[in-house]
Amino acid sequence: MKKWGNTAKRLPAIILLAAIIIFLELVVRIAQVPGYILPPPSEIAAALIDNHALLLSHTGATLSAVVSGLALAIVLAVSLSLAMDRWRGLKEAIYPILVISQAIPIFALAPILLIWFGVGLLPKILIVTLVCFFPLAVNLVEGFGEVDPEAIDLMKTMKADNWMIIRSVKLPSAMPYFFSGLKIAATYSVLGAIIGEWLGARAGLGIYMLRATHSYRLSHLFAAIIVVIILSLLMFKMAELTGRVAMPWQKEKNNIMEG
pLDDT attached to residue 256? 45
pLDDT attached to residue 257? 44
83: number of CA atoms within 13 Å, CB side? 12
For residue range 62-103, what is the model confidence (pLDDT) as tens digits?
A: 999 999 999 999 999 999 988 888 888 888 888 888 888 777
For residue range 134-147, what is the model confidence (pLDDT) as tens digits?
A: 889 888 888 888 88
Please name each of the domains of the chain with its CATH number. Answer: 52-258 (1.10.3720.10)
Give whole-number Cα distances, 73 to 41, 114, 123, 135, 222, in Å: 37, 19, 14, 10, 29
Residues 190 and 206: their CA atoms lie apart, in Å, by 10
pLDDT attached to residue 250? 65
The pLDDT confidence band at residue 119, using thresholds 50, 70 and 90, is: confident
Average pLDDT over residues 221-240: 93
Residues 96 and 141: their CA atoms lie apart, in Å, by 12
Does 231 or 256 have the greater pLDDT score? 231
pLDDT attached to residue 231? 93
For residue range 7-44, what is the model confidence (pLDDT) as tens digits?
A: 667 778 888 888 888 888 898 888 888 877 888 888 99
Could you tell me the pTM of the whole model? 0.83
pLDDT attached to residue 6? 58
For residue range 151-205, what is the model confidence (pLDDT) as tens digits?
A: 777 777 777 777 787 877 888 888 888 999 999 999 989 998 998 888 777 888 9
Minimum mean pLDDT range among 6-15, 119-128, 173-182, 229-238: 6-15
Among 228, 219, 225, residue whose Cα is nearest residue 41: 219
